[in-house]
Structure 1
Amino acid sequence: MQEEIKAKRRAAIEKAAYKLLRERGYGGTSMLAIAKEAKASNETLYRWYADKNALFKTMVESNAKATKAALDAAVMDRADPLTALEAVAPILLSMLLGEKAISLNRAAAADDGGELGATIAAAGRDSVFPLIEKLIERGLETGAMAAPSASLAAEWFISLLIGDLQIRRVIGTLPVPSDGDVSARATAATNAFRKLCRT
């Protein structure tokens, strides 16, 4: 029961942090303001997160959790790389184009200090990209795929999947895509990736 209460409090804190991030930007969002918005004590925030950067790192990790879990499972289960990437593609795309990721990226673009951008890179891309590389490396080792390197093929996969969609979301020229749009884009991207990497 205690863990359930704590999880609800954490969700309320993160919700407050996203709200203030959209309204004030990263620089204008303080731990005290988040605590007030979430109706939590400042001491609780510092006890749970240590500082603002750690709080936002937790938020990025939480947002990428489903994608990372799917990739981790595929790597551990030694799933077929292309089939695994097809399963992960819509999860990853939904996350990257969702309101949370867009709010974080908009704030990072306006953060002159670069602290939030570095946090997003470390807790997001830098934890997900190596797992995509591992899957592709397996495909290259077994001969199921062909590419100059796993790293380059992972870049191809990300480029085909995301293209300029996230930046268009960040600058406000693209609405939140429907589940159907995400599914269609993921299918088209993984089909193109299969053709690009076929042996």
Structure 2
Amino acid sequence: MREESRAKRHRQIEEAAYRVLKRQGYGGASMLAVAKEAKASNETLYRWYGDKRGLFKMMVEGNAKATTAALEAAIGRGADPLSTLEQIAPVLLSMLLGERAIALNRAAASDESGELGATIASSGRESVFPLMETLIQNGLQLGVLAAPSAPMATEWFLSLLIGDQQIRRAVRAMALPSEKEIRSRAATTMGAFRKLCAV
């Protein structure tokens, strides 16, 4: 299978997995159920993803990919930390409040095994947050940011940006925000973060 066709098939399978997840929850989202939904063979799913946890791990990583890629690129080229945070903020907020992240979080909340929650933590939060801490640490070392520590400044930034919005989305107390609302929240966050930490 050509790389382009394989990537397209991966997307189709993952979209099918999201549909199964919404209908049946994580416990009911078996590899066979996903294979049937995607009109794929069960063998293909096991060959490509290993098992159910592997499939959902790839889905979580795929959801966070734009944010992690932008952070890695900015760190690699030594980009200005504040400018990078300004660019990252709406991307990260859109991802965290988007339908896919919310579907995963709703399913994780009802998953008594804790497996999906652990997958989200290791493949989402634990891949994005260290990169953000590295970016902010660079800012502290360059003297363009001031804070007690990079982890604390990262927590401040994320609290300002996200607050309780993801929880409110997960419990259906908040609608999906528009792009304008996302950008407004990101701009407000950056204004507050600059007052807190910019030198």
- TM normalised by structure 2 equals 0.98
**What residue number does 1:162 align with?**
162
**What residue number does 2:38 align with?**
38
Tell me by how many angstroms 1:63 deviates.
Answer: 0.5
Tell me by how many angstroms 1:3 deviates.
Answer: 1.4
The within-5 A match list for 1:1-199 is 2-199=2-199
Q: Hey, what's the Cα distance between the residues in 2 that align with 1:46 and 1:198? A: 49
RMSD between superposed Cα atoms in Å: 0.8
Q: Hey, what's the Cα distance between the residues in 1 that align with 2:133 and 2:64? A: 17
- Alignment coverage as a number of residue pairs: 199
Q: Hey, what's the Cα distance between the residues in 2 that align with 1:107 and 1:190? A: 31
Runs of 4+ in 1 over 4 A off after TM superposition: none
Q: Hey, what's the Cα distance between the residues in 2 that align with 1:144 and 1:7? A: 41
Q: Which runs of 5+ in 1 are unaligned?
A: none
Q: Hey, what's the Cα distance between the residues in 2 that align with 1:88 and 1:154? A: 13
Q: Hey, what's the Cα distance between the residues in 1 that align with 2:42 and 2:93? A: 35
Q: Hey, what's the Cα distance between the residues in 1 that align with 2:32 and 2:181? A: 39
**What is the letter of the counterpart of residue 100 of structure 2?**
K
Q: Hey, what's the Cα distance between the residues in 1 that align with 2:178 and 2:110? A: 27
Q: Hey, what's the Cα distance between the residues in 2 that align with 1:116 and 1:66? A: 21
Q: What SS does structure 2 have at the residue aligned with 1:27? A: helix
Deviates more, 1:3-12 or 1:33-42: 3-12
**What is the letter of the counterpart of residue 106 of structure 1?**
R
Tell me by how many angstroms 1:198 deviates.
Answer: 2.6
**What is the letter of the counterpart of residue 58 of structure 2?**
T
**What is the letter of the counterpart of residue 197 of structure 1?**
C
Tell me by how many angstroms 1:185 deviates.
Answer: 0.2
Q: What SS does structure 1 have at the residue aligned with 2:172? A: coil
Per-residue deviation, residues 163-196 of structure 1 (Å, max 9, x unmatched): 0010000000111110000000000001100100
Q: Hey, what's the Cα distance between the residues in 2 that align with 1:97 and 1:185? A: 12
Q: Which runs of 5+ in 2 are unaligned?
A: none
Q: What SS does structure 2 have at the residue aligned with 1:119? A: helix
